[in-house]
Amino acid sequence: MRDVLGSGFVIPVGGAEEKVGDIMILRRFVALCGGPSARIAIIPTASELSDTGQKYATLFTTLGAAETVVLPITDRSHAMDPNHVEPLEDVDGIFLTGGNQLRLSTLIGGTDVARAIRRRNASGVHVAGTSAGAAFLCEHMIAFGREGASPRAKIVTLAPGLGLTNRVIIDQHFRQRDRLGRLLTAIGYNPFAIGIGLDENTAAFIGPDNNLEVVGGGSLTVVDPSEITFSSMARVRKNDPVCLIGLRLHILDHGSTYNLHTREAAPAPAIALRV
């Protein structure tokens, strides 16, 4: 199996992460990037709001980062501009904000900025994305789809993502927007990958050892198709229900882990001791 995880962490966040009070996810990201010495680049391309990047820059500075830089990429030409590429060479972390993931794939995909992010992640820089930014991190990105609990043919559209990992397909705002059906459908299209459904204020810190740790106040849903014995995906018509037999499902909370290589899940240590 091709291992495309770089030596830096890949950190998808389910959206709506805490920004006041117990800022658990973003605080951990800053600490991972070096804490008081952390230099973080913010890419607000997914958002159409002009102040999104600066809000995260202020927040990361408040959390102790030494330096932040906002890269306002709103056109493909910006993503080929050395003024937006060169700052990525001197940071410890890169953060992609939420918004519309198709803005990320169409404005950044295949550009010098995308190549720089992949190269820097491979050399140890940590890359995080929230909401749309989370969906864009993997090779196969859920572009959009219908809500609902059951998989149905052609209710989800996939597009190429950034490609930091090919091991997972990520969906965000998972429980809040009832997205189990579209993640199952995406996995039905591509049973090589593992489905990761992230609730809001919940993140997966995926290390270079392929071990994932859950951080935050919600749940992370794992859909593992490695033991699937039957799929009707090839014969159903649009909106028909899809039959999938042999899927494994895990619901993980804060501190729980999952290994993307061995496909083994483990509860948080405190829960294990209590049991």
Please tell me which residue in 17, 139, 200, 213 is annotated as part of the active site.
Answer: 200
Question: What kind and span of H or E run contains 58?
Answer: helix 52-62
Please tell me which residue in 84, 126, 173, 254 is annotated as part of the active site.
Answer: 173
Per 3-state DSSP, the chain is made up of helix, strand and coil in percentages (nearest 5) of: 25, 30, 45
Q: How far apart are CA 22 and CA 93, in angstroms?
A: 21
Active-site residue, 254 included: no
Report residue 142 CA to chain centroid gap. Answer: 11
Paired tokens of 156:
């989800």
Active-site residue, 131 included: yes
Angstrom CA distances, 60 to 3, 27, 63, 93, stand at 31, 8, 5, 11
Active-site residue, 140 included: no
Identify which of 60, 143, 141, 119 has the alpha carbon closest to the alpha carbon of residue 95: 60
Please tell me which residue in 105, 131, 219, 256 is annotated as part of the active site.
Answer: 131
Catalytic sites, residue numbers: 131, 173, 200
